[in-house]
Structure 1
């Protein structure tokens, strides 16, 4: 019998294109992805992959296998859901993935509430960048994803998914209280051209958005430091070492030494809950989705949703 997890790796490689991206989504190393796909080739006695330049692509046989197994993987998930949902009690496991600020302010409070109301529901919570969450949801690693995108970007979500709008926030510029910029209430990207910046790693989607704003304005940010956490970013700003940009949802620390400036023109971030449509019939997932929506309603003002 073919290993389901290895088949999922193959499906993800067909969608994402590189083993590095598959590894990031499946939370393993690229070496593990490569090894397991070689094992899958041995199991099927078929050449599934081929080298094309510096990349690895699926052969025609590999593409055919992906097409054959995708509906089977979906059906296996449906069977599992029906078994877990057969009890009179609401029970089962709900796997949720979300980006950092949504996990802290929306998902964790909602999960805490569900744990009190339905102790039979098991939950796993994972922090992941929005651009990685959708492939992970697609690979059946998770049941619910909370994602975000800026402006009028195309989410690229097909009809197999249901999108539920949770709310919007917007970018704000963080400057130290002692910075000359703190005299402003609003500020544009051009006015930040000569500033030192504190940013997330460039592969993070928020850092990517900031770099894009700077590039569109005709300059590269003078990056003083790279940090993984928003707390570290805010500390650097409070010490007047650099400026930073964060969405409002991510600003949770006391801002005694930081001035928030409105970024102009306003850059809106849209926040959605995404779920595969077959999962919507699972009662444990239903109550979790409702809890997330209710918590989001408390977080976002009515005018922002």
Structure 2
């Protein structure tokens, strides 16, 4: 195995023409140069220099190594520059897996801040609902994953995965604007016992069933979709009501629906999950920091 310091010294000896000249350029003593060249010859297993009178001459092996030395040192220099770029956030790639309502709100805000501060860091955005999004993290398909849980539900993650709490997201009910309860600022879930319902992803649907069961009724679920735009359209057509996270409300694109807070308040917890070792990767750490900052601006909204 070659020592890169020995290759660098060898290249300077060849360029300068002697051990003494190389010593002056590199700031070493001549005996130090001699020792390095002996070590390099031991590593390659054959002499690299011979003496012809007072002059030093490359052997055939030395001539061959001299041809490679410049390429080796150029590659090392390029590699060092690339590593500095990663460390100083001039480049890098992070795979971020989010669920739909986060990808339409938190994630764009976070990536906007990232683009302004570290334009060289690229993010590959994936989309998946929990718990599948956590499985993708454990399978190495993403570097950071976003997931939500409801009270009483705890994610089972490996010990070396860190959970970073981002915010608590209040749940609301999405109603057609002409619905009698739309005139209220907040509604009780029990008041909607006779309504037709539009359910979301399996985890959201399970929470809806649980909340309704606590109040003694089973919701009449007519449709199920994890596409928030489809939910809005169905509600706008009067085909049902839906439980919707407040995180999505600012992005409502239809004028015939409205969101009303639940009373008593119901919330879901939104967290980022990342392997502990990945926190030491600068690009991953800075994306996580931007997610926290974006979430902090929404707390209390």
Q: Normalising by the residue count of structure 1, what TM-score does the alignment of the two structures yield?
A: 0.65
Task: Specify which of 229, 233, 236 is matched with residue 234 of structure 2.
Answer: 236
The answer on 1:86 being equivalent to 2:97 is no
2:248 to 231, 247, 250: 250
The answer to whether the 8 A contact 1:166-1:272 is kept is yes
* Residue 136 (structure 2) pairs with residue 136 (structure 1): yes
- Unpaired segments of 5 or more residues in structure 1? 1-81
2:216 corresponding residue in structure 1: 218
CA contact (8 A) 2:199 2:221 kept: yes
The residue that corresponds to 2:287 in the other structure is 288
2:101 touches 2:228 (CA, 8 Å); kept in 1? no
Cross-structure match for 2:103: 103
CA contact (8 A) 1:105 1:299 kept: no
C-alpha contact (below 8 Å) 2:184/2:260 kept by paired residues: yes
| SS of equivalent to 1:250 | helix
Check 1:142–1:183 CA distance in 2 against 1; reply closer, same or farther (3 A cut).
Answer: same
Deviation at 1:119, TM superposition (A): 3.4
* DSSP 3-state at the match of 2:83: coil
Q: Report how far residue 181 of structure 1 moved.
A: 2.3
Q: How many residues align?
A: 219
Matches within 5 A, 1:175-190: 175-190=175-190
1:183 Cα deviation from its structure 2 partner: 3.7
RMSD: 2.5
The match for 2:55 is none
Cα 1:83/1:126, change in 2 over 3 Å: farther
The verdict on how the C-alpha distance between 1:169 and 1:84 changes in structure 2, with shifts beyond 3 A counting, is farther
* Structure 2 SS opposite 1:294: helix
Shift of 1:85: 7.8
Compared CA separation, residues 122 and 262, structure 1 to 2 (3 A): closer
How big is the shift at 1:198?
1.7
* Aligned-partner SS, 2:178: coil
Quote how far apart the aligned CAs of 1:166 are: 1.0
Cα distance in 2 for partners of 1:249, 1:113 equals: 19
List aligned pairs for 1:1-305, cutoff 5 A: 86-88=83-85, 89-90=88-89, 91-200=91-200, 204-251=202-249, 252-254=251-253, 256-301=255-300
Task: Give CA deviations for 1:67-94 in whole Å, capped at 9, x if unaligned.
Answer: xxxxxxxxxxxxxxx9998334422221
TM-score by length of 2: 0.65
Please say which structure displays the higher CA radius of gyration. Answer: 2
Q: Corresponding residue for 1:43?
A: none
Q: Distance in 2 between matches of 1:177 and 1:116?
A: 39
Q: Secondary structure at the match of 2:278?
A: helix
Q: 1:185 to 1:115 in 2, by over 3 A?
A: closer
Structure 2 counterpart SS, 1:245 = strand
1:197–1:221 contact (8 Å) kept in structure 2 = yes
Distance 1:124-1:84 versus aligned 2 partners, 3 A rule: farther
Find the residue that maps to 1:152 and give its secondary structure: coil
Q: Kindly tell me: are residues 84 and 122 of structure 1, through their superposed partners in 2, closer, same or farther at Cα, counting changes over 3 Å? A: farther
Gaps of 5+ in 2: 1-78
Alignment deviations for residues 20-54 of structure 1 (CA, whole Å, 9 cap, x no partner): xxxxxxxxxxxxxxxxxxxxxxxxxxxxxxxxxxx
1:182 Cα shift? 2.3
- Structure 1 contact 189–214 (Cα < 8 Å) conserved: yes
